[in-house]
């Protein structure tokens, strides 16, 4: 016979409500991806649980981007799709945060009054309280701060990956590029102290990660707030002293602030990867002046020459804007000339988007859509050719690949797994018969057998052409699968959370 106390405890347990589930949907850059990890961490610290795949979440959070015009359309399209879902489930809540929320504020609630909470880039930590207040008061909550009160890295974080992680070294930006709305939404640059950054990196490594990506709107101006213009190079060297940290990446630098000491730090620190993302934006010096980009094409190409002299196998990627106001055919040809000379392994190309609140939005000579589209297609064709040629040069090279949880689109047909080379190239590889498959986070050594513009392929002929190194990161993957009641399945791409290692895997093609 059970005691009254045990019966009461049983009844209390039975009466306990199910925890509310959440889903965070992310639009935009790597900074937004990392902010979404913080939103997930905040919600889980408040008792929410991540919604299962395909299940309707009790709370859906949109972490938004405001850089491109189609970001607005995408958000409001998603909100419209959720309206009937919420009508069927009145207890459901919708929150909108990030850059577009910081910019549009009341507009979001005016266009989508079924949203429950709107918060900006400076008060991510308010998310759980705003949801609770909206539920209690039965009305939408809007809270936008004009400046950062708490550095985001002090907030709880639910990492998307156990084997690779993002670490913010700064937030905000001091540049005044005429096309960019980010400084007005993220604020002036604020730098974390090196000790705080290295402590976070060490914590990630202690949890099993073997790769980190250092994040900032302009990483190589890091140190401006505390008066050390060489701080970023020193930070890279300090990362090289962390035992167990095998791969360090960073994004994004600004050509105007890129100094030789950073190149030396990259070349002399073994765990700094031979990869550099260097935004060009335009190859025309006249357009660069109009953009307020404080460098010219010769300086840009000179940086690339220095990097390749010290790091011969570095893969260099870039961002390019086509159709900036007033861009002439001569200006555009200058961009094509720089792209031909630069030999980028990948380029993230964008059609200029007129963003209210930016100086460029009011410039004369906004170009017709048809002109921009035609130039965009020419640039794409050129870069695709160069990328294919650059990747073809990798055939025959023996490379180290870190297996990831992501699988290629044709994985079921090809039976290949996917991973990233040290230079961040995407690699699809097969495991020879009789050889052991890697877990996400493990490292394999293979020889590139063929190439396409956006990926490499490695199909070892035999087990002798394939080497597996099981890693602490793979062990961490196994633990994470056990903790989530998953069954570790070595080499089963897609079995767990996806990870993007510093940059998207294919060029962005949307206008």
| Domain assignment of residue 97, yes or no | yes
438 has a pLDDT exceeding 90? yes
> Domain holding 442: CATH number?
2.40.50
Q: How far apart are CA 179 and CA 172, in angstroms?
A: 16
333 has a pLDDT exceeding 60? yes
pTM (2 decimals)? 0.79
Q: What residue numbers bound the domain in which 65 lies?
A: 18-143
Q: How far apart are CA 474 and CA 205, in angstroms?
A: 12
> Domain holding 67: CATH number?
3.40.50.2300
| Domain assignment of residue 495, yes or no | no
Q: What's the distance, Cα to Cα, between the start and end of the chain in Å?
A: 70
| Domain assignment of residue 371, yes or no | no
| Domain assignment of residue 192, yes or no | no
Q: Which tens digit of pLDDT belongs to each residue from 48-90?
A: 999 987 568 999 999 988 777 677 778 888 999 999 999 998 8
Q: Residue 88, SS3? A: helix
CB-CB contact of 318 with 348 (8 Å): yes
Q: Which tokens in the block code for residue 191?
A: 């730098």
Lowest-pLDDT choice from 66-80, 94-108, 449-463: 66-80
Residue 239 assigned as binding residue: no
Residue 173 assigned as binding residue: yes
**End-of-domain residue from the set 122, 143, 164:** 143
CB-CB contact of 454 with 505 (8 Å): yes
| Domain assignment of residue 172, yes or no | no
| Domain assignment of residue 433, yes or no | yes
| Domain assignment of residue 129, yes or no | yes
Q: How far apart are CA 316 and CA 67, in angstroms?
A: 23
11 has a pLDDT exceeding 90? no
Question: pLDDT exceeding 90 applies to what percent of the chain?
Answer: 62
Q: Which tokens in the block code for residue 117?
A: 């909470």
pLDDT greater at residue 18 or residue 317 = 317
Q: How far apart are CA 407 and CA 492, in angstroms?
A: 8
**End-of-domain residue from the set 108, 143, 178:** 143
| Domain assignment of residue 108, yes or no | yes
The total number of structural domains in the chain stands at 2
CB-CB contact of 120 with 147 (8 Å): no
Q: How far apart are CA 320 and CA 410, in angstroms?
A: 29
The DSSP symbol for 20 reads P
Residue 485 assigned as binding residue: no
**End-of-domain residue from the set 86, 108, 143:** 143
Amino acid 100: pLDDT: 85
């Amino acid at each position: 016979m059970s005691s009254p106390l045990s019966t009461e405890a049983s009844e209390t347990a039975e009466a306990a409500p199910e925890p509310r589930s959440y889903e965070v949907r992310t639009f935009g850059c790597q900074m937004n991806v990392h902010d979404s990890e913080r939103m997930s961490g905040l919600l889980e610290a408040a008792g929410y649980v991540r919604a299962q795949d395909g299940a309707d979440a009790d709370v859906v959070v949109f972490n938004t981007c405001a850089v491109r015009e189609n970001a607005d359309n995408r958000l409001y399209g998603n909100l419209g799709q959720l309206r009937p879902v919420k009508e069927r489930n009145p207890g459901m809540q919708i929150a909108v945060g990030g850059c577009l929320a910081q910019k549009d504020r009341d507009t979001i609630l005016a266009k989508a009054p079924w949203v429950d909470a709107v918060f900006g880039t400076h008060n991510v930590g308010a998310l759980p309280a705003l949801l609770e207040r909206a539920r209690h008061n039965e009305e939408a909550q809007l809270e936008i701060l004009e400046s950062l009160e708490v550095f985001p890295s002090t907030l709880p974080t639910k990492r998307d990956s156990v084997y690779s992680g993002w670490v913010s070294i700064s937030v905000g930006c001091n540049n005044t590029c005429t096309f960019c709305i980010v400084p007005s939404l993220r604020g002036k640059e604020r730098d974390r102290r090196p000790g705080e950054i290295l402590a976070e990196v060490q914590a990630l490594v202690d949890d099993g990660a073997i790769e980190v990506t250092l994040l900032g709107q302009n990483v190589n101006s890091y140190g401006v707030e505390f008066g050390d213009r060489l701080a970023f190079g020193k930070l890279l060297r300090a990362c090289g002293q962390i035992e167990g940290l095998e791969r360090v990446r960073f994004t994004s630098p600004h050509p105007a602030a890129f100094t030789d000491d950073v190149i030396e730090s990259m070349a002399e620190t073994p765990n700094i990867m031979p990869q550099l993302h260097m935004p060009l934006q335009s190859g025309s010096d006249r357009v660069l002046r109009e953009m307020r980009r404080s460098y010219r094409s010769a300086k840009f190409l000179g940086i690339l020459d220095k990097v390749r002299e010290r790091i011969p196998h570095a893969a260099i990627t870039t961002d390019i804007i086509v159709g900036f106001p007033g861009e002439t055919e001569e200006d555009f040809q200058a961009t094509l000339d720089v792209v031909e000379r630069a030999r980028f392994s990948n380029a993230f190309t964008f059609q200029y988007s007129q963003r209210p609140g930016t100086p460029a939005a009011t410039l004369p000579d906004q170009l017709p859509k048809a002109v921009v589209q035609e130039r965009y297609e020419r640039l794409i064709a050129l870069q695709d050719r160069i990328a294919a040629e650059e990747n073809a040069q990798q055939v025959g090279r023996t490379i180290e690949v870190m297996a990831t949880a992501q699988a290629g689109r044709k994985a079921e047909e090809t039976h290949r797994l996917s991973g990233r080379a040290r230079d961040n190239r995407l690699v699809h590889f097969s495991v020879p018969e009789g050889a052991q498959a890697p877990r996400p986070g493990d490292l394999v050594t293979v020889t590139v057998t063929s190439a396409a513009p956006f990926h490499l392929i490695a199909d070892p002929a035999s087990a002798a052409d394939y080497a597996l190194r099981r890693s602490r990161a793979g062990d961490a993957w196994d633990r994470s699968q056990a903790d989530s009641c998953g069954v570790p399945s070595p080499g089963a791409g897609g079995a767990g959370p996806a990870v993007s290692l510093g940059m998207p895997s294919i060029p962005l093609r949307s206008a």
